[in-house]
Structure 1
Amino acid sequence: MHANFTLRARCLYLAALPLTAFLFSPSSAQAPARDLRATIDPARLPLVGTIDPRFQSYNIEMVEVTGGAFWKPYGSHVAAKPDPANAQLGVDSSQFEYRPPIDLANARLRLLARALGPAYVRVSGTWANSVYFAASDSSPVKAPDGFKGVLTRQQWRGVIAFAKATNSKIVTSFAISPGTRDSRGSWTPDEARRWLAYTRAIGGTITAAEFMNEPSIAGISGAPKGYDAAAYGRDFQSFRAFAKREAPGMLILGPGSATETPEPWGMPPGIPGSIPSPRLLASGGADIDAFSYHHYGAASVRCAASHMPQTTLDDALSEQWLGRTSETQAYYAALRDRYAPGRPIWMTEGADAACGGNPWAGSFIDSFRYLDQLGRLAKAHVQVVMHNTLAAGSYSLLDPDDFSPKANYWAALLWHRLMGTTVLDAGIPLQPGLHVYAHCQPDHPGGVTLLVINTHAAREVSISFPGRRWRYTLSAPVTPSTGAKLNGQSLKLGANNRLPPISGIIERSHNSTFAPRTISFLAFPEAGAPACSPH
């Protein structure tokens, strides 16, 4: 998401973690009330559809690869070293600090990313719109005119090596800044051609690409001044013709716009240089292989001063907050149906909040949004969901400093191991405080996995099932941290970055109860569900 905003107050962070602890402290809750009951027979759940085997994926920002100015951590007192080349219109550069290039060869990073594979790794973001790909191994110290950063050949080799080592496929976008244009201001493929040729030469592949990152806010994303829908349509058609000629196997995604919705929390239309997606698509941008979009339910507190839509920690488990995922998806699905009917939908970027994430984005409370979002979008036939980011910003799956797992990493790992690519209807409509999703269990023909999310502050939920099952319940740590517990035990890496055992507890009783503010996966490998059986 674009970084065009300023920080309101770091003091909000100081209160965030203790409040998170209070929200999940057993002593703070009232006595549980078992007044929510349901019955589910996993063997009888009907088929909804299927999702891409790399459905659960993630982003690595281009600025992580090249090094440059990125969001300063909350509470950081390190003197900022902003990179003026990355500054955008209206940015308070003091809210950024220089981030050196990420070490994509790091053993822990690769091990933890590989555990989520197969996946797509999207290397993009606003910075990709203005990056210059070095013409030789001797990279320029300064970006040429018309560009704001340099991607070296060594750095790109590192991306390709990372993808191969982690069973990932590369998704990206291309530079569209003034340096890529001819004397008439039209986009030219010279830069893209050199990048693609080098990628092929070293055995790499770009599996899918958007023309540019977030054209809906082109005016603050590196496009030339005065860029409009007509210019986008002209350039997109040039890009598509080039791509189909010189990279025929590469999927063309688009438009990749940023959280447009008529709801008051959507991206405000008054952002300079905004181009609504209907105009992008109508101008010639609808000739795509898959429809892509971005979703953030709000902007982080870093952006409050620029009047971007906000949320609060108190709303993190509310139905209106969780429901924003569906509202954005419905908006873009309608555009897809109008301009590119039949094309699959990908959400190529999203997290708890734009502008680097809120202070609580790394804590367990955001795992409710993350897993609920995966469940909602899979059921809505979205084929791919890319979390922003793997290891940068407050919203990352891994700590940016040492790559240790945050709560959402453990949530991602449980989803990856237990929720397969065949989506079922759990038979329980979404209701306040209780969300249930169902998928076929991977590698267990006939097996079913249920995801049960209980956001109630003090109510237990009781669900009846036939047959035995294996239960995996995620809950918050006792003390404020970015970790999580599985069946009451803290999840931590072992020696040599070894992942802990991810083991379920066998349940045989007719009923299962789900404690307040917990997330549970229930695996039924012996369900014998026809929808999950080989045909």
Structure 2
Amino acid sequence: MGMVGAVTGVSLFLSFLCLSFGADSFRWAPTGDAVFLYADLSRVLNKVSERFLSVAIDASLLAEEKFMYLLSSQKLRTLAKALTPGFLRFGGTKQDFMVFTPHNKSAAAPQSHAVPLQSVLHQSSLSAEGLCKTLMLPVSLEEKLKVAWAEQEVLLQKEEIQGSFQKVRFSEHAVDLLYSFANCSGFDLIFGLNALLRTRNNSWDSCNAETLLSYCESKQYVMSWELGNEPNSYEKKAGICVDGHQLGLDFLHLREILNKSKLYSSAGLYGPDIGQPKDHRKDLLPGFLETAAKAIDACTWHHYYVNGRETSIDDFLSPQVLDTLAAKITTVLQTVALVSPGMKIWLGETSSAYGGGAAGLSDTFVAGFMWLDKLGLAAKLGIDVVVRQVLIGSGTYHLVDANLDPLPDYWLSVLYKRLVGPEVLDAAAFTDSAIPKRKLRVYLHCTNKQSPNFRKGSVTLFALNLSKKVMEIILPLRVNRSSIDAYVLEAGRTGTRALKSRLIRLNGVVLKMPDDNTLPSLHGVSLNPGHPVRLPGHSFAFYVLKDASVPVCW
């Protein structure tokens, strides 16, 4: 191309930007690859639930009831509280093999000379606050349980690979521990009932669920419910086939049971928790909604990007892999809109890789790219709640490891909760052709009004840099004179294996709990108005534009 042609090309590109953002919208002195931010600040695109980022506890924790006592760990409760408000879903594959067995003597609490946890649970004289302070796991017992849980996870993973699941019996003590954890941490509990208890005519046998409901009501446990996990895989897991119509009838039956209860007549009921609709089971969701849309409060489905046993680090950094989520969401949105327009839609279980996660990837820094992009894209497209699999449980996609130490995705989730509000704004990144497409991904929300950095009209931009190069984000004129608090997250170590680090740095400082009761300070770095917004390679960040004064965010 000659000099005139080159100049003309640049002029056309800049003219396009001026038309899109207004003349003089940008500072033009980038030191890295330049990315131009488009932002429509005139309207709220979507508004998601205040509990948008929610979490799950995998029902595999009940494989042996003694592990439920880990939920009384002070450290775990400290970590959990930072993720509220939110829903706490108790479910997963194992829920459809759970049978409630009250007064199961074999499920007694682990022996300890310390606090007798069972007796504390049943002290009706204690207030809710008093119970939370009293019901703490002794340190010596916690250490023994953590060692045993690490061994148990290996057995559970083998069970997952073999696809052969053993029936699990649980007592009222497990229910008490679960509810206490949710209540003391500040979560709204959603309990997943076993849908594979069937009658001879293949309808749901509700007898065991009614026994559980009766117990929970006697204890005045305020909670919501689900029925079954991934019914489109029942044939594979248990040799039972349930079509959408029958599944809908099962939910209608459960709703009738709830309606007869004083406590649960207005309780939430969510479902059908289907896996990604595909092949011969695509008809399950429409059939279910045609039958039972009036029974549920939100339609739930599950999503994972890749197979945990076949994936690679390249998948976690691939724009093409991340983009597949949009197509999946669109399919579900269209299906629900045709049958039940206006219904709320949840990602009722989701993480990076199915099959328990990808070892050495789903529990490391690189997993944050999939997680943060999913949060941004799901909110932008209209998903109301996203339930992360899991806070604690088997597999490698957990937020907290077997030692109850927080992993990188945990810290990312805490910052998201603190800084990102439910109001979604429309934003996009534009680059010239020299920069690989979609290597920098941006999302924009009003700032969380509960944030200590909140000012009326402030907005929070979060961005992911999938490339190795530094990216400079050129802000529109409307907001580029705002002061900024920057929260830049990078791998906890450097070098060739940095992306597989199980530690994370916030503005250069590795995040660790100073003690079991305290999180570290999570402060941003202040940038003066007009300061370049630079995002290092292979990192992600939150930028609170404190002086944006956007009217729709007041």
* Class of the TM-score when normalised by the shorter of the 2 chains: 0.7 to 0.9
Q: How does 1:188-203 map to 2 (within 5 A)?
A: 188-203=205-220
The aligned residue for residue 231 of structure 2 is: 215
Q: 2:515 matched to which residue of 1?
A: 495
- CA shift digits 1:216-262 (9 cap, x unpaired): 1121344x63444443343233223223333221222222110225x
Note if contact 2:424-2:444 (Cα within 8 Å) is conserved in structure 1. Answer: yes
Alpha-carbon distance in structure 1 between the residues aligned to 2:42 and 2:362:
33
Q: Which residue of 2 aligns with 1:458?
A: 469
Aligned to 2:126: none
Matched ranges for 1:286-435 at <5 A:
286-287=293-294, 288-301=296-309, 310-359=310-359, 360-392=361-393, 393-399=395-401, 401-428=402-429, 432-435=438-441
Tell me, yes or no, if the aligned pair for 2:74 and 2:516 is still in contact at 8 Å: no
1:241-256 equivalences in 2 (<5 Å): 241-246=256-261, 247-256=264-273
* 1:523 corresponds to 2:544: yes
Aligned-residue offset at 1:55: 0.7
Judging changes above 3 Å, is the alpha-carbon distance between structure 1 residues 407 and 276 closer, same or farther for their aligned structure 2 residues?
A: same
* Stretch deviating more after TM superposition (509-518 or 329-338): 509-518
Paired residue secondary structure (1:329): helix
1:55 aligns with 2:52: yes
Moved more, 373-382 or 284-293: 284-293
In the alignment, structure 1 residue 127 sits paired with structure 2 residue 94: yes
Q: How many residues align?
A: 444
**CA gap 1:344/1:227 in 2 versus in 1, 3 angstroms:** closer
Paired residue secondary structure (1:389): strand
Counterpart contact for 2:420–2:448, Cα < 8 Å: yes
Q: Is the CA contact (8 Å cut-off) linking 2:234 and 2:241 kept in structure 1?
A: no
- 2:193 is equivalent to residue 161 of structure 1: no
Structure 1 residue 468 displacement after superposition: 0.8
Distance in 1 between residues matched to 2:302 and 2:351, nearest whole Å: 9
The structure that is helix-richer by fraction is: 2
Q: Please report how far the alpha carbon of residue 282 of structure 1 lies from its aligned counterpart in structure 2 after TM superposition.
A: 5.8
AA of the residue aligned to 1:198: Y
Aligned residue identity for 2:509: Q
Work out the CA distance in 2 between the residues paired with 1:235 and 1:138.
Answer: 32
Instruction: Report what 1:34 is aligned to.
Output: 32
Distance 1:140 1:410, change over 3 A: closer
| Match of residue 512 from structure 1 | 533
Question: How far apart are the structure 2 equivalents of 1:36 and 1:46?
Answer: 26
Distance 1:339 1:474 in 2: 42
Equivalent position amino acid for 1:294 in 2: H
* Distance verdict in 2 for CA 1:150–1:348, change over 3 Å: same
Alignment deviations for residues 34-75 of structure 1 (CA, whole Å, 9 cap, x no partner): 232325679x3531121111111111111213438xxxxxxx
Describe how 1:459-498 pairs up with structure 2 within 5 A: 459-464=470-475, 465-479=480-494, 480=498, 481-498=501-518
RMSD after superposition? 2.5
How far is 1:140 from its partner? 7.8
Instruction: Report the CA distance shift for 1:386/1:41 in structure 2 as closer, same or farther (over 3 A).
Output: closer
Q: Does 1:260 align with 2:262?
A: no
Which residue number corresponds to residue 9 of structure 1? Answer: none
Gaps of 5+ in 2: 1-29, 109-164, 432-436
Q: Secondary structure at the residue paired with 1:236?
A: helix
Aligned to 2:246: 231
CA distance change for structure 1 residues 167 and 484 in 2, over 3 Å: closer, same or farther? same
TM-score (ref. length: structure 1): 0.77
Residue type matched to 2:95 in 1?
Answer: A
Distance 1:282 1:355, change over 3 A: same
CA contact (8 A) 2:289 2:340 kept: no
Structure 1 stretches lacking a partner, 5+ long: 1-31, 69-98, 262-268, 302-309
Q: Confirm whether residue 437 of structure 1 aligns to residue 452 of structure 2.
A: no
- The separation in 1 between residues aligned to 2:200 and 2:382, in whole angstroms, is 43
Shift of 1:183: 4.4
* Separation (CA, whole Å) in 1 of partners of 2:378 and 2:288: 23
Worse-superposed segment, 517-526 or 477-486: 477-486
Mapped contact 1:397–1:409 kept (Cα < 8 A): yes
Question: Retained in 2: the 8 A contact 1:352–1:366?
Answer: yes
Superposition deviation, residue 520 in structure 1: 1.2
- Residue 317 of structure 2: SS of its match in structure 1? coil
Q: Percent identity?
A: 26
What whole-Å deviation, never above 9, does each CA across 1:83-116 have from its counterpart, x for those lacking one?
xxxxxxxxxxxxxxxx944510001100001011
d(CA) in 2 for partners of 1:237, 1:203: 23
| CA contact 1:457–1:517 (8 Å) conserved in 2 | yes
| C-alpha distance 429-388 of structure 1, shift in aligned 2 (>3 A) | farther
**Structure possessing the higher radius of gyration over alpha carbons:** 2
Partners of 2:492 and 2:504 lie apart in 1 by: 5
Task: Identify if the C-alpha distance between structure 1 residues 380 and 226 changes in structure 2 by more than 3 Å, giving closer, same or farther.
Answer: closer
Q: Which residue, 237, 243, 255 being the options, matches 1:240?
A: 255
Paired with 2:104 and 2:344, the residues of 1 have a C-alpha distance of: 38
Amino acid at match of 1:284: T
Pick which of 482-491 and 507-516 moved more. Answer: 507-516
**Counterpart amino acid of residue 290 in structure 1:** A
2:226 partner amino acid: E
SS in 2 for 1:103: helix
Match of residue 149 from structure 2:
none
Listed one character per residue, the Cα deviations across residues 392-414 of structure 1 (whole Å, up to 9, x for unaligned) are: 22100011x21111010010011
